Each structure stands twice: as C-alpha cells, then as structure tokens.
Chain A
Amino acid sequence: MARGAFDQELAQLQQEILRMGSLVERAVELAVQSLRDGDVQMAVQVIDDDDLVDQLEVELEQRCIRLLALQQPLAGDLRTVGTVLKLITDLERVADYATNIAEVTVRLAGAPLFKPLIDIPRMARMAQEMLRQSLDAFVQRDVELAESVCRADDPVDELFAALYEELMGYVEQGDRQRITQAINLIFVARYLERIADHATNIGERVIYMVTGKRVAHQLRGRILGSQHARQRAAGDP
C-alpha cells in the first residue's frame, strides 16, 4: 500500500489515542471530584465509563495489529506502532485507577470527610497534567516535553510521601470512621501516584519512539531514589 495511506492510518490512530486519552483524563478528573464532593452519581458514571475505555483499548489494539500485518512498517514507523500498543495499556491502567478512586467515593458515601480534601485534588491535577502532556508529547513527537513529564514525577512522589505520613497520623489516633476514611484516602493517593507513573511511562516511550534510544535507565535512577525517600518517610525498614 502507498506511503500516503499509511500516514493517513497513522494520523487517524493518533486522533483515536487522543480520544482514549481525553476519556481517561476525564475519568481521573471526575473520580477525584466525586470523592471531594461525595457525589456517588458521578462516581458511578466513572465506573460505567470504564467499559468504554476498555472497548477503545481493544479497538486501538486491533488497528495496530492490522497496520503491522498489512503495512509491515520499518524503523521509526515500527517504533510508532509499537509505542501505541504499549501506550494504550498504560492508558487503560490509568482508567482502572480512576475507577478505583470512584469506588472509594462509593465506599465512603454517607459520611462527610473528616477534613476537606486539598492535597489529593492537588496531586490529581499534577498527575492529570502529566498525562495530558505525555499525550501531547506523543502527538507532537516532542522529546523535550516527554522529558519534562518524566521529571514531573518526582514532586508527585514527594507529595505522596507527605500525604501518606499525614494520613497515617489519623489512622494511629483517630476513631473508627476516621481510620476508615484515612486508609481509603491513602489508597487514593497511591492510585494517583501510580497514574503519574504511567504518564512517566508514556513519556519514556515517546522518547524511545522519536529517538530510538531508551532513556529509561537514567530517569529510573531518579525515580528509584525518590522511592527510597518515600520508604523512609513511610517508616519502612
């Protein structure tokens, strides 16, 4: 098939990735909002929408495989299709975490939160921004932007460590309801931290896609470093 047809397919694939990405971004946004406002209806919508994300993942996967089979792309094109294949898995995982957060909303429904959420929405905004930028980096094949996404993961990890510390404080001295809420909020913080990790993954894959080089190594070092800090903060041995 002609080069033009392949490019067109690829362009369509990008738009579809963005579609899936924006659906996932929305899921994260609504999940955190449902938690903040105790809005069960909104949470249920997030949980329901997850099927849509799964469906998109399957569709995109099939598109990729069809492209590989029919066009047998090489070099950069091959890396692009390969990247899309991995990227949709990351996106699907992020949507799962959004669903998990929405489930926490449902679980905690009925009782007002013992304190208004401030850091969790902040963390959610950081993770969402990373997600958005990682997809921008993919579409624009922007290595610099992808790198900045990878760097943005550290502050999220630090915020997670601080939140963990704070919420554990409530677990240790609170009443039963507080303990339940605090533990669930720790889960939420963890999910958000994982979402940021997946955005970082996407960033790394984009760098590979464009340059053909794996930069994951040096960046991982920094991520591991902050993981140590987190374990120290969390009081792990």
Chain B
Amino acid sequence: MLLGSHVAVAGVAAAAAAVAAAAAGGPWRLTLAAGAAAGLGTAAVLSERAWRTLRAGIGAVADALAEMARGRPTQVLVGEPDELADVAQRLRDLSERIATAIQHSTRREAQLAGVLGSLVDGCIAVDAGGRVILFNQAASRLFGRAAADVLGRPVMEAIRSYDLATAIGETLATGRQQMREFRVPGPEERILQVTATPLAPPARAGGAGGSDPDRPEPAPGAERWGAVALVRDVTELRRLERVRSDFVANVSHELRTPLTALKGFIEALQEGAAEDPATRTRFLEIMARETDRLVALINDLLDLSHLESRNVELRRAPVSLPELAGAVIAMFARKAAAKNLALEQDLPADLPPVLGDEDMLRQVFINLLDNAVKYTPSGRITVRARAEPQQPTVRVEVADTGIGIPRQHLGRIFERFYRVDRARSRELGGTGLGLSIVRHIVELHGGRIEVESEVGVGTTFRFWLPRAP
C-alpha cells in the first residue's frame, strides 16, 4: 500500500506536469494545478480499487491532453472521483475554446488568402533576411513562378529580377519606401511598377484591438520585420500614354505644316507679290488649297474625337446600300473619269438593308472611295456587297487595282496619322485620319474591317455591317 501510494503520487505528479506543460501560458494553468493538487491530496488515502479508478481517469486525461496537443477537439470521460470529473470538465471547456480559436484563425487565414489571391496587383512579402514569406497569385502570374518554388528563398535567387530584388533590398537596408519601374522581357513584354514598403512590427499589445497576444514579439534590436512589395502591371497605361503623346505630336505637326505655308505666302504677298496679278492669283490658289487642307484636317480631328468619345449616338435605321453607295459613287464619277478609271458597282437589288447611321456609313464610303481613286493610277474600282449566308451581316468590299500597300504597313494603316508614304499622302491632300475614322465607324456599328493588298496589284477593304431586322 505504501509502495502503491508512492507510485500513485509519482503518477499524479507526472500527469500534473503534463497538464501544466500542455496549457503553458494560458490562464488555465492555475486551475489545472489546483485540480492536480487536489488529486495529490486524496491519493494518500485511496484504496486499491479507488486507485485503479483514479489511474484510469488520469490516463484518460493524459490521452485527452495528447489529442489536444495535436490540435484535435476532444472529449474527456472520467467517472469518479469528483475532483477528476472537475478536471475533465475544465479540460472540455479548454478543448472547446482551443477548437474555437483554431477555427477562428483558420477562417481569418482563409479570408486573408482570399483577399491576397484576388488582388490584381502582385504582392510579395519578405522577412528581414530577404526570404519570401508571401507570394500571391497575381505575383505568380506576373513573374511566371509558382508560389511553392519561391517561398522561403531569397528574392534574387527565386525571381531573378534585378529591379524587384533591388527595390526590396534597398527597402530592407534603408527602411524607406522604394519605387521602380522596369520591363519584363518575354514573348509579350510587360512594364511593371514595384513599390516596396518596410513591414513595421505590429503595434505592441494593448494597442487598438486587433493585435494578437500569441504573436511573438520581435527580438530587441530588430526594428524591421521585412518588406512587402506591391507589383503593378502598367504596360497598358504606358502604351496609352505613348499613343496620346504621339497623337499630340502628330496633330501639332500636321497643323503646323499648312500654317507655315500660309504664313509664308501671306508674307510674300505683303512684301509686294500682291502687286503682280499673275503671282497673286497663283499664291491665292495655293493658300486656298492649304486652307482647305486645314479645314479637312480639323473636321477629321473633330469627327475622330467624337467617334472616340464612346458616347456617340448612332441614329440607327435600315439603310439601303445600293442607294447609299450608289449616291457616293456618283459623287466620285467626275474624279474617276478624269483619271480614266472605271468605277463599278456590284450591288444586288435584293440586298437586304443594313442597320446603321446613314450619315456615318456615307462617310465610310466617301473615305474608302477617296483613297481608292487617289491611289489607283489606272484600272478599275469596284464596290461590291453581299448578304452573308446564314449570318445576320452584309459583307461590303471596296476594291481597286491601285498601287497597293506593302505588307509591313498593312497592320498599321488604321492607326491615326499612319501613312505608308508621308510625302505622297500629303501631296494628295490626305489627312492621315481617313481610315482611322472608317474603322471607328464600322466598329461602332458592331462590325469589323480588314484589308488585303498586294503591291502593284491592288487593295481591297472588306467590312461587315449588321442586317436590319
């Protein structure tokens, strides 16, 4: 019995130690210690049978604690004595609270992962040693690396981007925000902007609500935890900026050219050229032509900016193409005849009407025919239209037998101010905006336009318009 009680005391002490260890740091330590002490006190007067019950009970408590240590919620079932039942009850409470805490933190983690994952910007966090501790989906996409291949490795080694690593490195070294913009080469080059910010240690416990007392405090002296870099894809932004500045430069240039000419002739007239009637007439003719060009350019610019503003109101109505195209063709009859060009139309009488804004569609035909007449020295120009079988569209073609467009220019001729031959276009009075306007109008109608051309053989513009219901 004496021996037995010694063993019992030792067993209870061990269990108490396990309980205390498992709950270390928590407010439950005291309660458990008290429970264990109570057990200890009774142990001395226990009978053999009671001792077995107690041992079984303590065994159950130990098992339950082991389960809890593995993070699993658990049920503690013990019979007598009451003291152990009390311990069991408290363990059950503890188990529940731990389970709730784990559930809560799992949910928080999932929320955080969801937020980071759905960010459009790449988010990369590193620890104070420069090792990646967070790498969201957008970052994965931007740098073509899986998070699993990057986490835990130094940024420079894992991603191998000089600019990214330098921005993060400098932030870690200086504790100041760094910003950099750089190109990521590849089949589709992208321009990325990285903003690296030092990760401050969280506010000390006692601060506003959210701080977590379980979080380890940063070691004294370690002022920074690391850095977080936000990476944003600015490719499209930079492209648009470039388009805009190119456009402004082009407009200025196009406006200045006729103005310079006008100014020159005005000065010449002022300085005496006006005295000579023949010179005066010639100069005035040139000035009238330059003025026409300016007016045309400004009109085209206004049209274009109107079309591009995207809140254009289309006055949609059924439009008969034979009528509309026929009228435009008639407009160009004289110009074509002057160059001995055959101007032909192939527009079936039973062609279904298209749905569109008549004035705008007229502009399409005018611009395309104007180009065709300008760039066709001899041969024919044909306007052709067909209803597409089994599709709610009408296909229209304006084909010429002109000088054609070299292959390398085909992709760009619908761009504003893009000209295959700058000098020639200007000589012919082009604004460089005609095809751009055509494309905008066709696209506003929900259609599309394409071009096919061979140098010396001719050019065909083909576009599709919706049929009127």
User: Are A33 and B185 neighbours in the complex by a CB distance under 8 Å?
Assistant: yes
Identify A19's interface contact among B156, B185, B189, CB under 8 A: B156
Identify A18's interface contact among B157, B185, B189, B408, CB under 8 A: B157
Interface residue total, chain A, C-beta cutoff 8 A: 15
Q: Which of A22-30, A79-87, A96-104, A180-188 contacts B (4 or more CB under 8 A)?
A: A22-30
For the complex, give the distance between the alpha carbons of A228 and B154 in Å.
43
For the complex, give the distance between the alpha carbons of A18 and B183 in Å.
18
Whether B161 is near chain A, meaning CB under 8 Å from some CB there, is yes
Whether A139 is near chain B, meaning CB under 8 Å from some CB there, is yes
Whether A15 is near chain B, meaning CB under 8 Å from some CB there, is yes
Interface string of A23-42 (1 = CB under 8 A from B): 10110011001000000000
Identify B160's interface contact among A14, A22, A30, CB under 8 A: A22
Give the shortest distance, in Å, between A87 (CB) and chain B (any CB): 16
Which residues of A have CB within 8 Å of B156? 15, 18-19, 22
A19-B156, A29-B185 known; 4 new pairs, CB 8 Å cut-off, are A15-B154, A21-B160, A22-B156, A116-B408
Which residues of A have CB within 8 Å of B408? 116
Give the shortest distance, in Å, between A18 (CB) and chain B (any CB): 5
Closest-by-CB residue of B relative to A33 is: B185
Closest-by-CB residue of A relative to B155 is: A15
Interface string of B146-176 (1 = CB under 8 A from A): 0000000010110011110110010000000
Which residues of B have CB within 8 Å of A26? 162-163, 182
Give the shortest distance, in Å, between A118 (CB) and chain B (any CB): 13
For the complex, give the distance between the alpha carbons of A30 and B166 in Å.
18
Which residues of A have CB within 8 Å of B154? 15
Question: Given contacts A19-B162, A19-B165, A26-B162, are A139 and B157 in contact (CB under 8 A)?
Answer: yes
For the complex, give the distance between the alpha carbons of A30 and B184 in Å.
10
For the complex, give the distance between the alpha carbons of A15 and B169 in Å.
11
Closest-by-CB residue of A relative to B185 is: A29
Which residues of A have CB within 8 Å of B163? 26
For the complex, give the distance between the alpha carbons of A25 and B161 in Å.
9
Q: Which residues of B in the span 174-230 have a Cβ within 8 Å of any Cβ on A? A: 182-183, 185, 189
User: Are A30 and B183 neighbours in the complex by a CB distance under 8 Å?
Assistant: yes
Closest-by-CB residue of B relative to A32 is: B185
For the complex, give the distance between the alpha carbons of A15 and B130 in Å.
10
For the complex, give the distance between the alpha carbons of A84 and B144 in Å.
29
User: Are B157 and A132 neighbours in the complex by a CB distance under 8 Å?
Assistant: no
Question: Given contacts A15-B154, A15-B157, are A22 and B185 in contact (CB under 8 A)?
Answer: no
Which residues of B have CB within 8 Å of A19? 156, 162, 165-166, 169
Interface residue total, chain B, C-beta cutoff 8 A: 16
Closest-by-CB residue of B relative to A125 is: B185
Give the shortest distance, in Å, between B152 (CB) and chain A (any CB): 14
User: Are B162 and A22 neighbours in the complex by a CB distance under 8 Å?
Assistant: yes
For the complex, give the distance between the alpha carbons of A138 and B21 in Å.
47
- 24 pairs, CB–CB < 8 Å, chain A vs chain B: A14-B157, A15-B130, A15-B154, A15-B156, A18-B156, A18-B157, A18-B160, A19-B165, A19-B169, A22-B156, A22-B160, A22-B162, A22-B165, A23-B162, A25-B160, A26-B162, A26-B163, A29-B183, A29-B185, A30-B183, A33-B183, A33-B185, A116-B408, A139-B157
User: Are B160 and A132 neighbours in the complex by a CB distance under 8 Å?
Assistant: yes
For the complex, give the distance between the alpha carbons of A29 and B157 in Å.
19
Which residues of B have CB within 8 Å of A29? 183, 185
Question: Which of the listed residues A14, A15, A21, A25 has the most CB atoms from chain B within 10 Å of its own CB?
Answer: A15
User: Are B161 and A22 neighbours in the complex by a CB distance under 8 Å?
Assistant: yes
Give the shortest distance, in Å, between A232 (CB) and chain B (any CB): 34
Give the shortest distance, in Å, between B149 (CB) and chain A (any CB): 12
Which residues of A have CB within 8 Å of B169? 19
Give the shortest distance, in Å, between B423 (CB) and chain A (any CB): 16
Give the shortest distance, in Å, between A47 (CB) and chain B (any CB): 16
Closest-by-CB residue of B relative to A30 is: B183
Which residues of A have CB within 8 Å of B157? 14-15, 18, 139
For the complex, give the distance between the alpha carbons of A19 and B165 in Å.
8
For the complex, give the distance between the alpha carbons of A23 and B182 in Å.
12
Closest-by-CB residue of B relative to A128 is: B185
Which residues of B have CB within 8 Å of A18? 156-157, 160, 165
Question: Which of the listed residues A14, A18, A30 has the most CB atoms from chain B within 10 Å of its own CB?
Answer: A18
Closest-by-CB residue of B relative to A132 is: B160
Which residues of A have CB within 8 Å of B189? 33
Q: Which residues of B in the span 63-78 have a Cβ within 8 Å of any Cβ on A? A: none
For the complex, give the distance between the alpha carbons of A14 and B158 in Å.
13
Which residues of A have CB within 8 Å of B161? 22
Which residues of A have CB within 8 Å of B166? 19
For the complex, give the distance between the alpha carbons of A30 and B162 in Å.
13
Give the shortest distance, in Å, between B224 (CB) and chain A (any CB): 18
Closest-by-CB residue of B relative to A26 is: B162
Which residues of B have CB within 8 Å of A33? 183, 185, 189
Question: Which of the listed residues B160, B162, B163, B166 has the most CB atoms from chain A within 10 Å of its own CB?
Answer: B162
Interface string of A126-153 (1 = CB under 8 A from B): 0000001000000100000000000000
Give the shortest distance, in Å, between A112 (CB) and chain B (any CB): 10
Which residues of A have CB within 8 Å of B165? 18-19, 22
The 3 closest A-B pairs by CB, nearest first: A22-B162, A18-B156, A23-B162
